[in-house]
Amino acid sequence: MAKKQQKRTSTMQRPQLGDSVKILDAGSVIENNITDTLETNYMPYAMSVIVSRALPEIDGFKPAHRKVLYTMYIMNLLKGIRTKSANIVGNTMHLNPHGDQAIYDTMVRLARGNESLLVPFVSGKGNFGKSYSRDMAYAASRYTEAKLEDICTELFADIEKNTVDFVDNYDATTKEPTLLPVSFPTILANNTLGIAVGMASSICSFNLSELCETTIALMKNPQHELASTLLAPDFVGGGYILYDEQDLQKVYETGRGSIRVRAKYNHEPNGNMIEITQIPPTTTIEAIMDKIAENVKNGKIREINDMRDETDLNGLKLTIDLKRGQDPDKVMQKLFRMTPLEDSFSCNFNILVHGMPRVMGVREILNEWIIFRTDCVRRRTSYDLEGKEKRMHLLKGLEAILLDIDKAVKIVRETQEEADVVPNLMMGFGIDKIQADYVAEIKLRHLNREYILKRIQEIEALAKDIATLRDILESPAKIKKIVMDELAAVSKKYGEPRHSEIIYEIPQSEDDDVDEAIPDYPVTIFYTREGYFKKITPQSLRMSGEQKLKEGDEIITQIECKNSSELLFFTNKCQVYKSRANDFADTKASVMGDFLPAKLGMEDGEVSVCMALTEDYKGHMLFVFENGKCGKVTMESYQTKQNRKKLINAFSDKSPLVYAEYLHDETELAIETSAGRMLLVGTAQIAAKTTKNTAGVNLITLKKNQSITRIRHADTMELANPHRYRVRTLPAAGALLRAEDLAEQIQLTM
């Protein structure tokens, strides 16, 4: 029994790569290598999700979107009247076997009423929900109706002219296009989000007119400056784009980065009510209300009396009632910082090109689209040329019998067998089988000179058309000209003004902290050696007993300050984390407190080595390094206008840090070395720098294998002759500790 139990336990251990796995199947045990299982079972699934489901292709559509739109096209819903959405869903299942609800979800997001897309493709009637509302659900497919928007003409134009490839559907009963021959870059005209296996895609939308103009300019000049015509992304929900040239350039060139979007609001002069009418595309009105309510409950927002969701048929509206005397603009700046009313759209332009996922910048995407569209125009031109050449060939045969219509009638009448009619016509007029078939099928009533002359008149026009089409096929420049003309036509016909306004310069006051909004009252701060932090009010402190600490831990800092005081935590990785006392909850002595690395989101292995508390950023930070140098940095160097929470290069990393302290006023330090020497240094003797990571100035001279052993404030020591350890100029080696001073140090240590 023990052996069986031991064997069962061993089979449940996590297999390592390359191990053999035992699979129990109907009582049999099959040895199978885990790498083979991954290759045969997991990889096909992963590739299917990547290639056939989650990522968009160069025509701007995922397979699910393309199947819905193509089904609506073949249902004649481009020019016909609307039909029930349930009817569309049912027909789409011939191409998409994933279920009716999945198909309807896809169609809803394509609809104008849902407001998900900047360029919608489905014109709906009924309730299609709203993308900006989590709770505003769309009606069932049996209640809504839909047809294609007029702009879909640009998606399906000439699709029957061999412009794109067609493949069998899942059961090989019909055909479907692999791509749509779109005449404008739909891939960048709409938001697209997709999560595959091991990769994802997030594409922001751009204004259609700007996009077409930029594509035309890029075709004329491959080095065209994109930002001059493609100003910034444009979202269907509007809002304000906070323009950052560096971030935008990164998105344009690499396809990765983020775009900051801010909600749009209005209020009456001297009014106590704010109306928010546009929000970022990455959030919903319910998420915003939840975050505001959470901050009000936690006491971080005290200016709001009430808020209401007043969204109706006229569009989104969130109304916020303020307390008397509050400044609406200042309140909104606070809400921008603390809620999703200002959010970032993360860009990851991951697109399938020829079945391969690629992350590309805007320039590369547009170049790939130009190649795709150019090929569509070339294939369309070849199709038209082939059709006209076939027509010309038939009319040439018809022209041949014009010379002697009676002869043609005689040949047909005198031929004994029907099968010999075509061969006899071929011999009689010197035409080929295709021409003879065409002539033989002409109705008797059409065997007159007038009919034949009318048909022959087409030959001259066909000849001109054929010459023109051949000229186009032989000239890449003319194909490009066609693509550019079509882009200009799309822009003129369907272009709209920008939905999202661009803010190029953000007023400095908008990023400043609203100090008066932070409740200000006295508190006592406790900071322990192990990195635990407590903030206790005087009343709680008077009523509390012994401080609860982790075993072996001790309090190294106890400071009385205000709740609005700023805290700076310097770490062993030369970084500083900034926060306010208000960011920490009031607590009691009976709790252990907040663990700073977790609270501030520090990196693995990162610990705080010094805490500085300030209200006005006056004074200096002092850093003493192992090599005997000292950096004195003005505190103002750590003050930021953007309310940043983390600063890198907070101090020099050229040598290990030995001592760090915030000096509000100048003081005198006693530096002891392993050589038994001491140096008294007035901090006023050290030149201050504004560069945070300055290497510092030489403070004390150390010989090889010597180091600093202790640094203390000189006023805490009782020295017989302190002048012995002072010097006028730095660096200095210091003086040997006298016996009486050494005895005093040993006594203090004991």
Do 43 and 146 lie in one domain? The reply is no
Same domain, 101 and 80: yes
Sign of CA dihedral 387, 393, 395, 397: negative
Q: Number of structural domains, the chain?
A: 4
DSSP 640-690: -TT--SEES--S--SS-EEEEEEESS--EEEEEETTSEEEEEEGGGSPPBS
Cα separation, 512 vs 505, in Å, equals 15
- Give a yes or no: residue 452 inside a domain: no
Q: Do 541 and 660 fall within a single domain?
A: yes
DSSP string, 106-159: HHHHHBGGGT--SS--EEEES----TT-SS-PPPPTTT-EEEE-GGGHHHHTTG
List the chain residues with pLDDT less than 70.
Answer: 1-29, 507-519, 642, 743-750
Tell me the C-alpha distance between 84 and 100, whole Å. 13
> 116 with 178, same domain?
yes
Same domain, 73 and 13: no
In a shared domain, residues 274 and 177: no
User: What's the confidence (pLDDT) of residue 302?
Assistant: 85
Does the residue 419 lie in any domain? no
β-bridge mates for residue 736, sequence order: 677
Active centre residues (catalytic): 143
Q: Do the domain assignments include residue 465?
A: no
User: What is the CATH number for 717?
Assistant: 2.120.10.90
Q: What is the pLDDT of residue 743?
A: 59
User: Are residues 521 and 629 located together in one domain of the fold?
Assistant: yes
**238 within a domain of the structure (yes/no):** no
CB of 528 within 8 A of CB of 550?
yes
Residue pLDDT, tens place only, 419-439:
888 898 888 888 889 988 888
Q: Which residues of 47-78 are buried (b: 16+ CB within 10 A; e: fewer)?
A: eebbbeebbbbbbbbbbbbbbbbbbbbebebb
**H or E stretch including 377?**
helix 362-402
Distance, CA of 157 to CA of 187 (rounded, Å): 17
Question: Which residue in the block uniquely carries the two structure tokens 């035309």?
Answer: 216
Strands 318-322 and 273-278: antiparallel
Q: How far lies 601's CA from each of 531, 613, 647, 649, 739, in Å?
A: 13, 19, 13, 17, 48
Picking from 340, 356, 388, the residue at the C-terminal end of a domain is 340
- Short-list 613, 584, 618, 614, CA closest to 598: 584
8-state DSSP, 732: B
Query: Is 108 part of a structural domain of the chain?
Result: yes
pLDDT at 27: 57
Q: Which residues constitute the domain of residue 518?
A: 511-749
Q: Is there a domain that residue 353 lies in?
A: no
CATH number at residue 326: 3.30.1360.40
Contact 331, 273 (CB under 8 A): no
Same domain for 17 and 131, yes or no, is no
Q: Is the dihedral of CA 334, 335, 341, 343 positive or negative?
A: positive
Q: pTM of the entire structure?
A: 0.68
In 3D, which of 718, 721, 724 has the Cα closest to residue 746?
718
Residue that finishes a domain, picked among 313, 340, 367: 340
Last residue of a domain, one of 182, 204, 219: 182
Identify which of 188, 191, 112, 105 has the alpha carbon closest to the alpha carbon of residue 150: 112
Question: Same structural domain for residues 687 and 551?
Answer: yes
Q: Establish if 437 belongs to a structural domain.
A: no
**SS3 assignment, position 632:** strand
Residues 43 and 75 in one domain: no
> What confidence tens digit (pLDDT) does each residue in 194-215 have?
998 889 999 999 999 999 999 9
Our separate counts of H helices and E strands in the chain read: 21, 35
Query: Using CA atoms, how far apart are residues 218 and 368, in angstroms rounded to an integer?
Result: 12
Q: What gap in Å lies between CA 181 and CA 158, rounded to an integer?
A: 8
- We report the CATH number of the domain holding residue 91 as 3.90.199.10
Dump pLDDT digits (tens) for 119-128.
999 999 999 9
Task: Please check whether residues 109 and 8 belong to one and the same domain.
Answer: no
For residue 420, the model assigns a pLDDT of 87
Token duo for residue 667 = 């003081």
